[in-house]
Structure 1
């Protein structure tokens, strides 16, 4: 019996794709001060490459790092690029709306004292209106980003599961676990590199022509 608990694991592991898409959410609300972006952590030296351990003879259990597969495979890199492109577009759109709100608010603060009550009230309503539009735009962007992420996760899972299934059958495995949920395991049981290699090869294979 083949049991693959993939949906929740893949969704959690591919959360790395969401990191690039969260920057737009830092756009300050109307009237709020711009938030200081988080400091970039100092670069650390990459660990020295080590020769992979051989797969233990007779082993019936293996594991893969879905986060590593998602960030290293061509499929994962493509997904990351799509989210980054989406983020850049939304940042530009929300940035323009934020500028419009701040410009009108600045005009109100500077000239409100010499305006008539009617003119000042009208401008205050306009500031409030633009602020609401900005908030709705932020919410829409969040919904669109979640939809895109779900779409990419489903595409990734659809291509990943057959690869894992094939490798497991070839090696006669009883189970393939997620590295993100392991406490300890022999590193020789890690099939991440093999999964990435096959996943990339499968993505480059042209689809079979439709039967007439």
Structure 2
């Protein structure tokens, strides 16, 4: 489920979670034009202590929303940097219906972040969502591929780093194909009033 294929891992460097975060910082500093994140798992387990997710799981959507607002404001320096550096910063989010409980929570997060200026695109992919995998693409110089384990809920344990030109082009082509052949949807327009509480 959502496992990266061998072609993208050939010649890549295996990373621990700490190494993934360090490589992110290095790649981000070199990025001049575009950052793209593909998210495909329908359920993720956030790091321990994410209060907004805990509140949502406890049934308190209003508290979850307030906490998501606080968490999003903590990322304001990143949004300011994206604007100052004139970067294209896009999250491409794949959906399968019916939405999981996790995605009901995430839709509140996406709505908050969209309102603050983050660019998020939603697609129902042309192939089964399980055939896709999460990755980050930095211009055409670096990609980080997430390792979320065997599932069914994604929990990041590390990943892979690649600079291979063919792999980088193939990853960019995945995003292009999703935009061309996937069904673009606007789920934020359908967030229920209880989620907006």
Question: Which interval holds the TM-score relative to the shorter structure?
Answer: under 0.3
Which is bigger in relative contact order (C-alpha 8 A, separation at least 6)?
1
Of structures 1 and 2, the larger Rg is shown by 1
Which of the two has greater helix per residue? 1
Which of the two has greater strand per residue? 2
